[in-house]
């Protein structure tokens, strides 16, 4: 009977865990729709900035610190995007693993990486291990707002724009999880600064100039076709001022984009983890219920054997 009681209480506790997992899974799947909306809402802005940067690249030769490496400063910044809460399977741990290997690679190359962390889990991990962290941000990793993106990009830009002698950094890497689909999320390392995407654009735009009939289709569909790549923009108040204003915004919107895709990945990986946990809890309950039934049946059988045995003994006495 003791083991039956124990099994019953295990079934009850697994049952309530299952309810929690199931609820978490539901919450995560409802958040995914929201994460998608947020990402869609942010897209027009990102596109606008991207177009503007393209225009700038096409019409001016950019000579801004953001696009070129400043000397041989060995200090580099690494930003890891982790989650605030657990229950997301391997989400944070794979980010941390990738970050560690990136830090090791950078160390090997003779660089001095400085660590920036977003997300409570990552911060706790590094704080517990007494690692030096250059900057941390917490809160809202599953729905990052513009404020967070602004805070992060301001801090990182400040570190980047500082001269090497005052502790500035020469490169910025971001470790984040790319959202491929609901089941697949991939950890990626992106070199955000100095801007390398602009160079790629320059080639695209240059190709478009060389061949105005074909090349443009690749740039931006119908819009691109209306837009001769040679259109002369007037920059107000001046090219430099526009660059100064737009490039940091470009970085910020890229960072925001990373935050959003990381948030979508976090939610998706939480949903997957909770789905697996729910399934596991259910199969555990099934298994325990079978054990409980078997042990109840065993005790009934034993009782019957005892009754029949003693009845037989009594009958034998009467004869």
Partner 1 sequence: MAEQPTMQVNIVAADHPVWSGEAVSAVIPASEGDMGILPNHEPVLTVIKQGKLTVVEPGGERHLCEVSDGFISFDSNKLTVAVERAHNVKRTTPDE
Decide: is 233 part of the binding site for partner 1 (CB under 8 A): yes
Q: Contacting partner 1 (CB under 8 A), which of 86, 145, 167, 200?
A: 145
The residue among 146 and 304 lying less far from partner 1, judged by its C-beta, is 146
The residue among 240 and 312 lying less far from partner 1, judged by its C-beta, is 240
* Stretch of 82-90, 99-107, 227-235, 272-280 contacting partner 1, by CB under 8 A: 227-235
Q: Contacting partner 1 (CB under 8 A), which of 23, 33, 146, 298?
A: 146
The residue among 185 and 253 lying less far from partner 1, judged by its C-beta, is 253
Q: Contacting partner 1 (CB under 8 A), which of 45, 162, 178, 197?
A: 45
Decide: is 56 part of the binding site for partner 1 (CB under 8 A): yes
Q: Which residues contact 279 (CB under 8 A, 6 or more apart)?
A: none
- Pairwise CA distance, residues 38 & 29, whole Å: 15
From residue 292, alpha-carbon distances to 70, 161, 219, 278, 280 in Å are: 70, 67, 66, 21, 18
Strands 112-118 and 75-81: parallel
Decide: is 217 part of the binding site for partner 1 (CB under 8 A): no
Decide: is 68 part of the binding site for partner 1 (CB under 8 A): no
* Stretch of 42-50, 69-77, 267-275, 297-305 contacting partner 1, by CB under 8 A: 42-50
Q: Which residues pair with 186 in a beta bridge?
A: 178
> Minimum distance between the CB of residue 61 and partner 1, rounded to whole angstroms?
16
Decide: is 189 part of the binding site for partner 1 (CB under 8 A): no
- Pairwise CA distance, residues 213 & 226, whole Å: 11
- Pairwise CA distance, residues 52 & 243, whole Å: 10
Q: Which of residues 71-110 bind partner 1 (CB under 8 A)?
A: none
Residue 150: CB atoms within 10 A of its CB come to 14
Residue 17 and residue 312 in contact, taking contact as beta carbons nearer than 8 Å: no
- Pairwise CA distance, residues 127 & 123, whole Å: 6
Give the chain's radius of gyration (CA, Å).
30
In the complex, the residues that contact partner 1 under the rule CB under 8 A are 38, 41-42, 44-45, 48-49, 51-52, 55-56, 145-146, 149-150, 223, 226-227, 231-237, 241-242, 245-246, 249, 252-253, 256
């Amino acid at each position: 009977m003791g083991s039956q009681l124990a099994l019953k209480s295990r079934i009850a506790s697994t049952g309530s865990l299952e309810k929690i997992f199931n609820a978490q899974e539901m919450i995560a799947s409802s958040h995914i729709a929201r994460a998608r909306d947020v990402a869609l809402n942010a897209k027009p802005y990102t596109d606008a900035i991207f177009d503007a940067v393209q225009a700038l690249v096409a019409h001016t030769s950019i000579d801004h610190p953001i696009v070129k490496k400043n000397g041989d400063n060995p200090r580099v910044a690494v930003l890891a995007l982790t989650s605030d809460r657990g229950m997301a399977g391997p989400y944070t741990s794979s980010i941390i693993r990738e970050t560690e290997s990136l830090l090791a690679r950078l160390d090997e190359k003779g660089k001095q990486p400085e660590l920036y962390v977003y997300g409570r889990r990552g911060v706790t991990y590094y704080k517990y291990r007494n690692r030096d962290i250059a900057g941390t941000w917490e809160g809202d990793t599953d729905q990052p707002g513009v404020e967070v993106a602004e805070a992060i990009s301001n801090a990182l830009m400040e570190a980047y724009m500082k001269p090497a002698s005052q502790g500035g950094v020469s490169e910025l890497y971001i470790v984040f999880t790319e959202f491929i689909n609901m089941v697949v999320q991939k950890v990626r390392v992106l070199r955000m600064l100095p801007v390398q995407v602009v160079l790629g654009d320059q080639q695209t735009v240059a190709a478009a100039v060389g061949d105005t009939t074909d090349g443009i289709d690749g740039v931006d569909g119908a819009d691109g076709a209306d837009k001769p790549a040679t259109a002369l923009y007037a920059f107000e108040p001046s090219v430099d001022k526009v660059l100064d204003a737009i490039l940091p915004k470009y970085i910020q919107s890229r960072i925001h984009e990373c935050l959003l895709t990381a948030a979508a990945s976090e939610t998706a990986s939480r949903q997957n983890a909770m789905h697996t946990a729910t399934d596991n809890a259910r199969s555990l309950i099934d298994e325990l219920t079978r054990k409980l039934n078997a042990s109840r049946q065993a005790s009934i059988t034993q009782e019957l054997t005892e009754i029949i045995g003693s009845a037989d003994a009594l009958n034998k006495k009467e004869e």
